Amino acid sequence: MNASQATLTMVLLFSLRCLLPAALMFGIGYAMNWMVDRWETEAATTSEGTAVATNIVASNGDRCWSIMKCDPELRKECPGFKQQMIPCWLAKTQAEGALPDKCLTCPIYEANPALA
């Protein structure tokens, strides 16, 4: 083996030992950042779509207290009445920690259960 072959062998072994793992590490890091950016974009799109859909549901004429014929005194304490920008069943779920059973048969919930 002459000097040029020995030098070439040493450069090749150095690149396999040091440069290849560094290139793999940077490639994996780039791929992970790309995936995170993609997931964040999807999450932002999903949350914006949910907010828009929630406002559409809350803006139509049907209200929980009109369907259930609630007493005006009870409305003052109702989370659905206090938070009219979101659907009544969603406000009740946030306030109570669980979806009330009577919401499962409500036409407002049945129209858009996917927002839950």
Tokens linked to 85: 């920008």
Residue range of the domain that includes 61: 25-115
Q: Are 100 and 68 in contact (CB under 8 A)?
A: no
Give pLDDT tens digits for 74-92.
Answer: 888 888 888 888 888 888 8
Flag whether 15 is in a domain.
no
The tokens describing 29, both together, are: 């890091």
Please state, in angstroms and rounded to a whole number, the distance separating the CA atoms of residues 42 and 33.
14
Query: Does any domain span residue 89?
Result: yes
CA distance 84 to 46: 21
Distance CA 10, CA 106 (A): 76
Structural domain total, the chain:
1
- Residue 18 resides in a domain: no
Higher pLDDT, 116 or 64: 64
| Residue 14 forms part of a structural domain | no
Query: Is 69 among the domain residues?
Result: yes
Q: What's the pTM?
A: 0.43
> Is residue 4 in a domain?
no
- CA-based nearest residue to 86, from 107, 46, 116: 116
Written as six digits, the tokens of 31 are 């791929």
Please report whether residue 17 resides in a domain: no
Q: Is 49 domain-assigned?
A: yes
